[in-house]
Amino acid sequence: MMRKLVRDRVPDIIRKSGREPDVERVSGEWLRLALKDKLVEEACELRASEDVYEELADVLEVVDAIAEYWGIDRQKLENIKKEKLDRAGGFKEGYVLRDDGEKHLA
């Protein structure tokens, strides 16, 4: 059984094609989980796609929905982002950590 969050107009688009979608509306904790799952889904699609614009737009749409649902203060979010950037940098240089120098237990 496929259960995934879809854009708000998808059920109507399916109906206009002559089919009846099997949908349910979720809220509360179910919606919280569905939004997180959708972000992972869209991030995976971005990774696999050559069309970065389309997939990144989807990622941003889900991020916006998460921010709205959680009542995220955008200014606070930007401040935290800037603090992390100042403290640890961004991702422009392309460093990939191969070993963090600690002994790992097998």
pLDDT in tens, 47-87: 999 999 999 999 999 999 999 999 999 999 999 999 999 99
At residue 41, the pLDDT reads: 97
pLDDT tens digits, one per residue of 11-40: 999 999 999 999 999 999 999 999 999 999
Nearest 10 degrees: Cα torsion 102, 99, 44, 56: 110
DSSP assignment of 43-54 equals: HHHHHH-S-HHH
Q: What 3-state DSSP class applies to 62? A: helix
17 Cβ contact partners less than 8 Å away, ≥ 6 residues apart: none
pLDDT of residue 106: 45
Packing angle of the helix pair 52-70, 28-48 (nearest 10 deg): 160
Q: pTM for the full model?
A: 0.84
Look at residue 2 in the predicted model and tell me its pLDDT.
Answer: 78
Q: Is 5's pLDDT higher than 80?
A: yes
Confidence of residue 103 (pLDDT cuts 50, 70, 90): low
Q: How far apart are CA 10 and CA 50, in angstroms?
A: 24
Q: Phi/psi class of residue 95: alpha, beta or left (left: φ > 0; alpha: ψ in -120 to 50)?
A: beta
Mean per-residue pLDDT of the chain: 93
